[in-house]
Amino acid sequence: MSTAYHPGPDPITPEQRIILMDDDAWESFITNCCEQLRHENKYSQIKRLGGAGDKGRDVACYTVFPPEPNTWDLFQAKAYKDPLNPTNMLADFAKFLFYVFNGDYPIPSNYYISGTQDVGTTLHDLLGNPDKFRKRILTDWKTKAGNFGSFKQPLTPALQTFISNFDFKIIKEMKVSELLSIHARSPNHWAVFGVLPPVVPAVPVPTVPESDEQLYVSEILRAYGDFEKSLIPSVDDIPAKHSKHFTSCREQFYHAESLNRFSRDFVPAAFDALKEEVRTGISPVVDDVTHPDGLKRLNETLKHVTTLTATTNPLRDRIHSLDLQGTCHHLANDGKVKWVPDE
């Protein structure tokens, strides 16, 4: 009898999830991307404007406010089931051009079009040919007599002159892949897509223990002292035979600290949840009264913790054995684990 079973469908990808977004969710996603760029100091202020009376602006990203010409970027968010074509965007372009012409807001540095299915071939070709783009806008404006459905405005001689001289190169596409790359650096990425960045940046181990290592280091010193049956008051007093062990313990602590900071940035509280899972998993070993000394308790715990799994933790695909061992030291640093029980 076969024991093989179907593993089920592949998880939904961020790109697939974006296709399912409605107008509000897509605009919110783009706003989050812009907020991440603000966090990275590209902009100083982000304003979501989409809706009635937005004057052709969904999301405005300012470097200075009030904005001056060529100091801000404009994002237009379009949640369509198909790639965007010129017809989809015509009313938006007309509205934008008129309100810049009318002085309602200054010309931006960039006008980004962002669709859930990206831009289609015809619109892509127009964006790549500013003169042809300008001609298409003017022709359609005249053909429609200024009636774009959601926007109505006659083409006056002054407006036509403005459009004829307008720099259409500022109108560009911001693709889904580019937005996802930005959003992946955001602390909201896990909440929206259930995906974390692939790499946990390593935190270097300082040459000597720092003040925030005091508690777990003191626990290790107590473990060495319990083994040696003599007090080891400081790191400088660690016997040479334990120096490699001590170095390994600090490497474990900082490996877990890297995961802690990664969690703080992308999945707040996940590392704290991991610590609680580890504390529960190692308690039978830590609480075992048959250990002859604290060093044995420490080493048996570090051995046992590598057998644990954290299948429900969001960090599960980023957790290594060193992280689990380092988490034991973090628990000691929190005062929740002692290698030598108090009398």
pTM, full prediction = 0.79
At 117, phi and psi to the nearest 5?
A: -115, 20
Categorize the per-residue pLDDT at 315 as very low, low, confident or very high, splitting at 50, 70 and 90: very high
Asked if residue 210 has pLDDT above 80, the reply is: yes
Write out the two tokens for 107. 């010309």
Asked if residue 199 has pLDDT above 90, the reply is: no
Instruction: Give the total residue count for the chain.
Output: 343
Give the chain's mean pLDDT. 95
Q: How far apart are the C-alpha atoms of 193 and 195, rounded to whole Å?
A: 5
The string of pLDDT tens digits covering residues 61-87 is: 999 999 999 999 999 999 999 999 999
Closest C-alpha to 20, from 81, 85, 75:
81
Over range 260-279, report the average pLDDT.
Answer: 94
Instruction: Give the model's pLDDT for residue 9.
Output: 76
Paired residues of 59 in beta bridges: 48, 75
Asked if residue 2 has pLDDT above 60, the reply is: no
Categorize the per-residue pLDDT at 7 as very low, low, confident or very high, splitting at 50, 70 and 90: low
In Å, how far from its chain's centre is CA 335?
A: 31
Closest C-alpha to 330, from 282, 268, 267:
282
Categorize the per-residue pLDDT at 173 as very low, low, confident or very high, splitting at 50, 70 and 90: very high
Categorize the per-residue pLDDT at 15 as very low, low, confident or very high, splitting at 50, 70 and 90: very high
Instruction: Give the model's pLDDT for residue 343.
Output: 72
Instruction: Give the model's pLDDT for residue 171.
Output: 97
In Å, how far from its chain's centre is CA 127?
A: 30
Burial (CB < 10 A; 0-12, 13-18, 19+), residue 17, is middle
Asked if residue 241 has pLDDT above 70, the reply is: yes
Instruction: Give the model's pLDDT for residue 6.
Output: 67
Say which residue the tokens 């039978």 belong to.
284
Asked if residue 203 has pLDDT above 60, the reply is: yes
Residue bearing the bigger pLDDT, 237 or 11: 237
CA angle, residues 175, 129, 173, in degrees to nearest 5: 10
Categorize the per-residue pLDDT at 4 as very low, low, confident or very high, splitting at 50, 70 and 90: low
Closest C-alpha to 248, from 304, 328, 322:
322
- Residue pair 197/165 in contact by the 8 Å Cβ criterion: no
Region of poorest pLDDT, from 91-100, 112-121, 197-206 = 197-206
Over range 197-213, report the average pLDDT.
Answer: 90
Give the start-end residues of each E strand in the chain.
45-48, 59-62, 72-78, 110-115, 171-173
